[in-house]
Amino acid sequence: MDFSIKSLDTKTPISNIKTACMVVGVFDNKKLSPEAAELNIKGVIDAAIKSGDITGKVGSSLLLRKIDGVAAERVLLLGLGDNPEKVSEKAYTSATQVAARQLHALGASEVCIALPTADGRDFTWSIRQNVVAFNEAIFRSDAYKSKKDTIPANVKKVAIAVAAKNASAAKIALAQSIALVNGLELAKELGNMPANFCTPTHLANTAKKIATEFKMGVEILERKQLQALKMNSFLSVSAGTVEPPKFIVLKHMGGKAKDAPVVLVGKGITFDSGGISLKPGVGMDEMKYDMGGAGSVLGTMRAIGEMKLKLNVIAVIPTCENMPSGTATRPGDIVTSMSGQTIEILNTDAEGRLILCDALTYVERFKPAAVIDIATLTGAIITCLGHHNAGLFTRHDETHDKLAEEILAAGKQANDTAWRMPISELYNEQLKSNFADIANIGGPPAGSITAACFLERFTKKYTWAHLDIAGVSWKSGAAKGSTGRPVSLLTTFLMNRAG
């Protein structure tokens, strides 16, 4: 799909723009947006509202054809709610989604979006919402079907109207939005792939492809190298599978040579059976999504690579399968992590923290400015936060509070939100072991918090945050599929860091 910016000024009124469909907003109190008012020649739009053909409520729409004096062949009216002075983010987002779905089903191959911006947001946010909505409407998950799904995708060109004074900045925002959507789509495609296709080797090859396309550095560590590094915690998870583990290091060095990098660590369990602590069969197919952290990190790296972001960012992805077999790790086994700390594995289904702890030790060599690990770590976070917010964990001090504020702000900015959870020494009591330095589970109470406390023990030498994305990484039921989250949050966070 081809996106562009349409510059508006007194010499280029909306009524003179030739397009197959012009999209404008109306309100529940029978008021028109400024853009709709310009098209209200001979009161045609007023008449449609007065007759009740469109109410202006959020989600409502009406298609008008061939209005006299309007160059556009069609005009699509979108309801934006009851407050012309303050269009809510929810109303704006809903309107773009409605427009994308309807326009893709029409015969219009090119459209122009001329909506007012949401209250408190600038035009750059609006541009992103439109790009995301139009791509989401045609995103396909039928790669493995012999007969492809019929998804209307008639729109080929989308112009987004902005004031002439903002045109230059809007073009930059548009390029960034397209890069972000490309990263989101990569993360969703990886998440939706079945585990017999999306193996650790496939994730490694995807990293290599990103490195080649966007001139990044890449290194893939194999089993022998992991053994030499004494990553015995990571290797214990892969002990029961024939699929070889991979340890991916992908480097985007867009900043100054001496600048400390931001490091993203993504959990890459490409299938999680639970190991010897086998999961119930119902819903186990969804454990192909347990590489959501890895997928979101790769998607983010692709996005910032396309943006040519001026920041040093390193992605570290430990990836393997967690399977039961005669060689699999048993409950009660003790392993020595790369850090030298010993771990009693009470439950082999708490495997994410076992691969992450070695990765978090490995990243010390980069002397990072900050480290964020991203993982579909615990079902307990869904009990806490549902499917709306990712769980954010950091230490509670001035430095980590600042990092938490950055991440939370980026989430709000990107409509990809997180919620900060507590972490403290009190919860470590649950992780005590009679036989090793630490147990890998702390029992049912505060399960997401004790998991974060486990990881925190391996991050003492740098500033660190943990995102538990188990509740937001994919959807179940009729809408089953990867969401691509938190690519938007992470990309926005890095863009803000880069200034």
Active site residues: 279, 353
Q: How many whole angstroms separate alpha carbon 462 and alpha carbon 261?
A: 12
Q: How many whole angstroms separate alpha carbon 63 and alpha carbon 54?
A: 10
Assess contact for 295 and 346: CB atoms under 8 A.
no
Reading across the β-sheet that carries 333-336, which strands appear in turn?
333-336, 342-345, 438-439
Q: How many whole angstroms separate alpha carbon 273 and alpha carbon 483?
A: 22
Dihedral sign of CA atoms 258, 260, 262, 268 in order: positive
Nearest to 82 by CA among 45, 119, 35: 119
Q: What angle do CA 110, 116, 121 make, to 5 degrees?
A: 115
Read off the tokens for 310.
Answer: 């001026």
Element (H, E) at 410: helix 398-414
Assess contact for 373 and 355: CB atoms under 8 A.
no
Q: Exposed, middle or buried: residue 286 (CB in 10 Å: 0-12, 13-18, 19+)?
A: middle
* DSSP bridge pairs for 316: 249, 265
Q: How many whole angstroms separate alpha carbon 132 and alpha carbon 260?
A: 32
